[in-house]
Structure 1
């Protein structure tokens, strides 16, 4: 799909208008899954020269999301990762003096606030996936709001979410603007499988579901399986690889403590049918 056709571009003119220096630089964007907000908003800000001084920092709740979004945006902009577009997570940093957009986890920005309380090197902070509310994002929003009010009136604050109830955040950030765009939806067929999970392991339940709902019904396409932790993921993968109908499939794990290279491998495009066995790390931004 041509990126300009993504729903977030319905709001491009409003985003540029509401983030002009003459307005209070606070904006809330409600944009559902599939609207393109995470990958396209940084490009809208760059292409329209909205942030004239300092870098754009995009906060992500998960390391894997920060890495993958940075790669995607760099690819769309035709630049090498680490030049105009980069990322920084714990123990890993791919940025340069040219970096205009930096995807980071909240812990990185908290440490920067300790060493540089004015955040003088930052021109805009984007709180992505803000509906995943937790203490770090709330504390950072409170600190940056106060920073903007007291010493950094030029600092732009943008809050984005797919499912956020915007009224309370709008009231907290007042005066600010709140805008909303449509999203792309796809048909979803929900089927509840009657399994006696009390008499078998969770991996056995997954195998039975795969056999009855995917293999027996002849469903095509990639498969995403959610499990609670790495132990259950490893056991399930072992059993999936024993199913002869899945011999040609690429069966890969995805969880937070996995090696970054293996995380990236799980999310890369493949010619083979892919079965990803993941924790909730794959729920958002990917």
Structure 2
């Protein structure tokens, strides 16, 4: 596996969770927290014989996180690493790390209010602060405080100030990871009228490629990362 920035703080994270049942991790986008922290928790033995449930804000994020973790460990999705979202799941008796959406976790709390088979709940991308994720955290925290002190909670965020949530979680430890910084040059271009988002993205990529070709032949080496609003735009 390639090295990611979050790898360097995994020992600190595991050490903190051995002393506390709550932890807040602040790591910028691209640090690797989504795909490296749950496997590290599993391999450390902190999850015991229970399941690690990681909450994702979107179905696509839940599916891709499970797929990436499975890929990095030479498995198929649904073996040790699985997901469950609305209308779709890849899970088996082997599954130890399960990525889910907020609605799935809330329904599980209704059916299994003590989360009997779960030992760690990870709240990923918590800075998005959606109502369902706030409600899920409040419910899991209540379970932890009343009947499941062995249940561990990990809150992960890219941009959220970690101190207030750490105080709310009983002054729990805060672990920080740095990301990788690269020089950024911003170029603006005026879109044509009535161009769709996929068309705008395609034009932008073409301009970047043309600019790189004009600058240097070696500039053809490398990759391009394009951010789009959703699955529909990506497929188009």
What TM-score bracket applies, with the shorter chain setting the length?
0.7 to 0.9
So what's the TM-score if we normalise by structure 1? 0.72
Number of the residue aligned with 1:12: 10
The alpha-carbon distance between structure 1 residues 223 and 145, as it changes in their structure 2 partners (threshold 3 A), is closer
SS at match of 2:119: strand
Deviations, residues 89-146 of structure 1 (Å, cap 9, x unaligned): 1011111111110011111000001111111111110000111111011001111111
Whether the 8 Å CA contact 2:83–2:89 is kept in 1: the answer is: yes
Candidates 26, 33, 40, aligned match of 2:29:
33
Number of the residue aligned with 2:207: 213
Whether the 8 Å CA contact 1:34–1:185 is kept in 2: the answer is: no
2:201 counterpart of 1:190: no
In structure 1, the gaps of 5 or more residues are 228-253, 267-275, 278-286
Q: Distance in 2 between matches of 1:33 and 1:223?
A: 13
Number of the residue aligned with 2:44: 48
How far off its partner does 1:216 sit?
4.8
So what's the TM-score if we normalise by structure 2? 0.86
Aligned residues: 227
> Bigger relative contact order, structure 1 or 2, given CA contacts below 8 A and separation 6+?
2
Q: Distance in 1 between matches of 2:96 and 2:39?
A: 10
Q: Distance in 2 between matches of 1:160 and 1:211?
A: 32
In terms of mean alpha carbon deviation, does 157-166 or 75-84 score higher?
75-84
In structure 2, the gaps of 5 or more residues are 214-219
Candidates 168, 181, 184, aligned match of 2:177:
181
Number of the residue aligned with 2:226: 224
4+ residue runs of structure 1 moved beyond 6 angstroms? none
How far off its partner does 1:46 sit?
1.4
Whether the 8 Å CA contact 2:57–2:102 is kept in 1: the answer is: yes
Q: Which of structures 1 and 2 has the bigger CA Rg?
A: 1
Please give the root-mean-square deviation of Cα atoms over the aligned residues, in Å: 2.5
